[in-house]
Amino acid sequence: MSELHTYSITEARAKLDDGSISSRELTESCFEAIHDQDESVHAFLETWKDEALKEAEVADARRANGDRLGVLDGIPLGIKDNILIEGRRCTAGSKILENYVAVRDATVIKKLKAQGAVFVGRTNMDEFAMGSSTENSAYGVTRNPLDAGRVPGGSSGGSAAAVAADFCLAALGSDTGGSIRQPASFCGLVGLKPTYGRVSRSGLMAMASSFDQIGPLTKNVEDAAYVFQAIAGKDALDQTTADAPAFQPAWREDLTGLRIGLPKQAWGEGIDADVRESVLSVVERLRSLGAEIVDVDLPYSDEVLAVYYVVVPCEVSANLSRFDGMRYGVRLQGAGLLETYLRTRGELIGREPRRRMLLGAYALSAGYYDAYYKKAKKVQTLIRNAYQSALTNVDVLLTPTTPSVAYGLGEKVNDPLAMYLGDLFTVGANVTGLPALSFPSATKGSAGLPVGVHLTGRMFDEATLFAVARAYESSSNG
């Protein structure tokens, strides 16, 4: 088996441009790796080898004619199973959508097609993006390629596993409370949750519409910037997209003049010692690169998870109401309408989505709306103000991405509260709509597993997140 699939986008791009490899060879190498290893990892739910090789050949023909479409032309990518590709099945990891075939492309897919990207297949995920371990998929568990006894994170665990196993050069995920950044941390990757409204959600199966964002999982920081640049932008099909300036990376080796804030509330109990030590080593490296490190106060940090797990289930309850066997998806016929509903949703929607739908319906119900949903929305405003205030004095906020390294399969799947607490450092960016990036520390945690470092930035300032992470990455690799 060739080693071409182990390239980053940056490496492959240089080889493609100088003619030393072809996109077909690169794509074939990815499929060889999938054939040899994915039976044990289970990163993909479906692959499209014949079609991908044709796309690669078309990219090669363009290149031969001097007509490259973009940086991603001929690059093999994985796509999370909740992002529509016309003519392809898209199940969101649920049995109720087992036979659903997309009738249109998501906007991000249109943009990637315009770049000439090659689509390898659809990746496994927690059902309807609800979960932090990819153990909640209706189609089986995904394993962490770095340690088969551990989870890859979730809900974009299939995308993270596919990139970490070198089955594709990068992948798209979606992030509602950390679903890109947490698996990036567990699998030693770079993962970006863009500013809310920076990337179109059109064609993304909604979990919580005011929180969801699509973003990249990649092998290095520069690759993440390439993919983000390709998919960002205002879209008439998504009225929540913002008319922000086009993203341009602003790389820097010297961080002099840049202020990095360490939220006091984030460094208390609950972080494993190895994670704390690893992240603090990154802080010291950033200090040596010229950054000023300051402690900052971030009020309402203890309320962020509570707000998230009130507001998100309310939106889940509304969004998933369409999946009832009448309008979308598989129907299990009962003796009457009620029995049909009960059979269809009871047998074809998993435990975690049902749990969140029930929580949301309860919080929105008469007599409880004011006590739960309305109050949570008020506290959400306070949290947004607290982050905005903190980011007036510093350029980025830095914490661990997760309190621990990747944990064992089955360790938390029956303890929802323990699973939810794993989102402690990531949900703030979704509650506030701010951009956030996870990148790996050069220092490993327990069992030699990756540790993620989490940066949160100002609205539409992804460039600073990328600059800080790449400065660290470059200094560590050097």
Distance CA 60, CA 323 (A): 42
Segment holding 361, helix H or strand E:
helix 351-364
Q: Which of 171, 169, 86, 186 shows the shortest CA–CA distance to 134? A: 186
**pLDDT, tens digit, 9 for 90 and up, residues 40-72:** 999 999 999 999 999 999 999 999 998 888 999
Q: Is the pLDDT of residue 478 over 70?
A: no
134: phi > 0 → left, psi -120 to 50 → alpha, else beta; which?
Answer: left
Could you give the CA distance from residue 192 to residue 109 in angstroms, rounded to a whole number? Answer: 17
Write the DSSP symbol of residue 295: E
- Per-residue pLDDT for 415 more than 90? no
Confidence at residue 413, expressed as pLDDT on a 0 to 100 scale: 83
> Hey, which residues does 456 pair with through a beta bridge?
397, 436
Confidence grade of residue 419 (pLDDT, cut at 50, 70, 90): confident
Mean pLDDT is highest, among 209-218, 314-323, 327-336, for 209-218
Of 80, 110, 111, 412, which is the active-site residue? Answer: 80
| Burial category of 239 from C-beta neighbours within 10 Å (exposed 0-12, middle 13-18, buried 19 and up) | exposed
Say whether the peptide bond before residue 365 is cis (omega within 30 degrees of 0). no
Alpha-carbon distance of 119 to 106, in angstroms, equals 13
28: pLDDT strictly greater than 90: yes
Catalytic: 80? yes
Catalytic residue among 94, 179, 202, 278: 179
The three-state secondary structure class of 135 is coil
How much is the average pLDDT of 424-429? 96
Give, in order, the Cα–Cα distances in Å from 443 to each of 8, 58, 447: 21, 41, 12
| Spatial separation of the C-alpha atoms in residues 435 and 391, rounded to whole Å | 12
Give the confidence band of 338 by pLDDT, cuts at 50, 70, 90. Answer: confident
Reported CATH class of domain 1-478: alpha beta
CB 188 within 8 A of CB 28: no
Domain ranges across the chain: 1-478
Q: Is 179 a catalytic residue?
A: yes
Burial class, 121, CB count within 10 angstroms (exposed 0-12 / middle 13-18 / buried 19+): buried
The residues that bridge with 457 in the sheet, in sequence order, are 396
Q: What is the pLDDT of residues 239-253, one digit of tens each?
A: 999 999 999 999 999
Q: Encode pLDDT of 165-197 as tens digits.
A: 999 999 999 999 999 999 999 999 999 999 999
Residue type (1 letter), 333: Q
Question: Which two three-digit tokens encode residue 470?
Answer: 């790449």
Instruction: Please pick, among 23, 137, 155, 278, the residue that the annotation labels catalytic.
Output: 155
| Residue 355 tokens, joined | 């749990």
200 annotated active-site:
no
**Two tokens, residue 407:** 């944990």
